[in-house]
Amino acid sequence: YVQALTLGEPPVLSDEEMARVIEQMKKMSYGQAPDPEGTNDLARPRDAAV
């Protein structure tokens, strides 16, 4: 942490940028375990049925 502080203050996202990131994370199922049917499993082939 102390070494990171030597780099300066981190950039802060605007509300608009933060909303965009949140929407992207929702689409990615970020932080969620795959459901039993695998509908939020991003590792499936692109042509697989949902």
pLDDT at 42 over 60: no
Q: Which residue has the higher pLDDT, 43 or 24?
A: 24
pLDDT tens digits, 6-40? 999 888 999 999 999 888 887 776 666 666 665 55
Letter string b/e over residues 15-30, b meaning 16 or more CB atoms within 10 A of that residue's CB:
eeeeeeeeeeeeeeee
Per-domain residue ranges of the chain: 1-29
Name the token pair of 33.
Answer: 């375990």
Name the token pair of 36.
Answer: 């039993």
pTM, rounded to two decimals? 0.42
47/13 Cα distance (integer angstroms): 35
For the segment 42-46, the average pLDDT, to the nearest whole number, is: 59
